[in-house]
Amino acid sequence: MLGAAALMFPLHLLVLSGIGLILTIAAVGAGIPLASVLFGLSTAATVILAVAPCVALWSLARREHVPLSLGQYLAAGLSPNRGGPRPSLSRSYATIDGQDLMLDVWRSRASANRPRPAIVKVHGGGWVLGERGEGPMWNEWLNQRGFDVFDVDYRLPPRATWRDEVADVKSAIGWVATHATELEIDPARISVWGMSAGGNLAMLAAYSMGDPRLPASTPEPAVKIRCVINLYGSSELERQHASGGSPDKESLAIRRYVGGSPEQFPDRYRLLSPIGHVDAKSPPTLTLLGASDRIVPIDQATLLDRALAAAGVVRETWLLPATDHAFDANWGGFATQFARARIEAFLNRHS
């Protein structure tokens, strides 16, 4: 967690550098050479840890002609991009076994044009945790660009069985499409967005839409998805189970989600892997993953990219240097600034 925080908020480490410099000067003044050396080395180390990730991201941004702002970074401070359900925005999209499944409707006021494009947003949490409302600054940002956002919940273990999570996501997408007139959104311009496990579910719902092996939870119509935004989501579950950056925690979560190990349920792992559903009809997909992600290995992005390319699907894949999982928790961070620029350009072309 400390390593992730350091990569997420690198420039904040300069506070430690300042403290270390003061202690170094004090140790020199007091004539304590060993303390002077130790404090000096600590100061140098924190400066390197603070600056190196920023240089790597600025280099990528410069190559791709993406402007980054130190002012945005500093303005965001330590305010994390974290949230939760907004009851005033909540509506039920299905009732299953007496349980209401909810979504929050974030309406755009940026444009008077109707109908608007829609994005169904799927939260993360390793398939076993989490709730709608994750990353609320993304919802506001999308609203400002003319998108209505439908931020959905889905059932989790132990109440959910292995097919229920993607089934609920498909039901939410179908609910948005069937209520398009009431909601004043364009049913032909519905995209899906997911973070972490939500990225996996968003891709799976989009690529397997209409597959009778993975039906919706409710009798909703299959919806043609306009495009997919995948933030650090897994594409191949068996490989993720074997090589995830946090093996014990991640593998346990996957087993709870699927119901067991790949040896016990190989068919389930294949069916729940988005990469196995890729074909020429799959929607355009943008993937963003940190090259230093401690949970989702970079091969989850590269294998997906190859599969999409082989099928002739429009796609963009970005591996962000010196960037960890859930990097967008720092809304002003350079990785998040780069991600916003790439997502906006992608949505302008494909949504």
pLDDT digits (tens, 9 = 90+) for 75-112: 876 678 999 999 999 999 999 999 999 999 999 988 77
The arithmetic mean of pLDDT across residues 319-341, rounded, is 96
List the chain domain ranges. Answer: 2-63, 87-350
Closest CA to 340 of 136, 117, 68, 149: 68
**Could you give the C-alpha distances from 223 to 132, 178, 180, in angstroms and in order?**
21, 10, 12
Question: What are phi and psi for residue 99, nearest 5 degrees?
Answer: -105, 120
How far apart (Å, rounded) are the C-alpha atoms in residues 185 and 206? Answer: 18
% the chain with pLDDT above 90: 80
Residue with tokens 């068996």: 238
How far apart (Å, rounded) are the C-alpha atoms in residues 47 and 16? Answer: 9
- Please name the amino acid found at residue 148: D
C-beta separation of 338 from 330 below 8 A: no
Tens digit of each residue's pLDDT (9 = 90 or more) over 135-148: 999 999 999 999 99
The model's confidence at residue 15, banded by pLDDT at 50, 70 and 90, is confident
The arithmetic mean of pLDDT across residues 116-133, rounded, is 97
Q: Rounded to 5, what percent of the chain is helix, strand, coil?
A: 50, 15, 35
Radius of gyration of the chain (CA): 22
Closest CA to 200 of 256, 283, 125: 125
pLDDT at 133: 96
DSSP reduced 3-state for 82? coil
Please say whether the structural domain 87-350 has been given the CATH code 3.40.50.1820.
Answer: yes
Tens digit of each residue's pLDDT (9 = 90 or more) over 252-261: 899 999 999 9
| Total-model pTM | 0.93
Reply yes or no on whether the pLDDT at 8 is more than 90. Answer: no
